[in-house]
A and B are shown apart, each in its own frame.
Chain A
Amino acid sequence: MKTKFNDNDILRFLHDEMLEEESTLFLDALTEDENLWERYEYFQLTTDQINTLSFEPSVASVQAVMEVVKEEGKASKRKFRIRKLTSSPISVGLAAASFLTLFMFARLGNNIQQAKSQEVMLDFEPLPVPTLVHEVRIESHQQTDISWNAQDLNQKLDQIKQKAQSLSDDPLL
């Protein structure tokens, strides 16, 4: 370990950049070496003077920085949320399930539409002309009771039952 110290050593000591052991030796040298002490005193006083200097940024500058921090923070939080939502396995599963549900509904809607149009087709098969059963006329009010032939009605009922059966067998319904 050296015992002769120069200006660079004084600066390292002043700025706490000396190892403990070296500092002890330096302090010993300071008490013995008058020339070293004089130089140390000059550097210490000048350093102290320099350290008194400090400048503050304006309040406006600090506020401007914090504005940016907050604004960009909000934006990045939104991005983060979206990213988090789209990247988690649960959300991917949810999205897939939603897509599948929508697809099922679309197919179901399509099937119902087809079934309805078939039913409409069935409905368009005209029944025989109904039989007039009873007619009452009281002043302005008129009431008419009509009736179909029982065989025609049973036939129609069978058709409807068959159609209902075919629809209930459809796995998508």
Chain B
Amino acid sequence: MDKALNKTQDRDLIKGFMKGNDRCFEVLLSKYKTKVFTTIYLIVKDRSIAEDLFQEVMIKVVRMIRSGKYNEEGKFLPWVVRIARNLAIDHFRKVQRNPIQHESEDYDIFNTIPRSEGSAEDKIISEENTRYIKELIQQLPDKQREVLIMRSYADLSFKEIASLTDVSINTALGRMRYALLNLKKLAQEKSVPQSYENKVQR
């Protein structure tokens, strides 16, 4: 990928894409795919649904940019996350009407996560922690989980989250605070992996 393109600001990348340079969108996609996908996955809690929604979101983003519906004043990622959130809500509405089965245990999300370099033991601990944190987050109440995901993975400010979820900044901050405190409570209720326990209780 072009190094020069990587350094270009999102606004310029979007302008380039609107002029017909597909490479510009490729840069945006590689820059934000992890954050967008993590956000979607933690909202819908199902890998295959998250994959479908991710594609749906990004294709919608492409079409909206091409049709000139992207507002340059806003930031790109919060805009994409807003679209992702709306599509996830639509998905939940559909699921409520037509319930589907959850993903099978055979399909493991962690098989696709790029692993950091290190010893085999480090990898096992890292995998265990990742699985553990994911499980804890997924047990949080919906509103708290939503704020935590948007702040930690989608990089939305508390002000942006407040605007998106139609609450005050203090409410958004309060939900984040409760989310973090509840993680501790949930961790104490479950058997905590050694490495995580050491870090939190230090």
Contacts and interface: CB of A to CB of B under 8 A. Distances in A.
Interface residues of A, number: 37
Chain B at the A interface: SS class:
helix
Interface in B134-185: 134, 137, 148, 151-153, 157-159, 170, 173-174, 176-177, 180, 183-184
A54 B153 contact: yes
Nearest to B48: A58
B174 A8 contact: yes
A56 B55 contact: no
Contact of A56 (B26, B63, B112, B174): B112
B59 A68 contact: yes
Interface residues of B, number: 52
B8 interface: no
A46 B66 CA distance: 40
B113 A55 contact: yes
A62 B133 contact: no
A29 B38 CA distance: 35
A53 B133 contact: yes
30 contacts: A8-B177, A11-B173, A12-B158, A12-B173, A17-B157, A17-B158, A41-B202, A46-B183, A47-B180, A49-B133, A50-B183, A52-B126, A53-B133, A54-B113, A54-B153, A55-B38, A55-B42, A55-B113, A57-B33, A57-B50, A58-B51, A58-B112, A61-B55, A62-B30, A62-B33, A65-B55, A65-B59, A66-B26, A66-B29, A69-B25
Given A42-B180, A47-B152, A55-B42, 9 more contacts: A7-B177, A8-B173, A8-B174, A53-B133, A54-B38, A54-B113, A54-B153, A55-B109, A65-B59
Interface of A: 7-8, 11-12, 15, 17, 41-43, 45-58, 60-62, 64-66, 68-70, 72-73, 76-77, 80
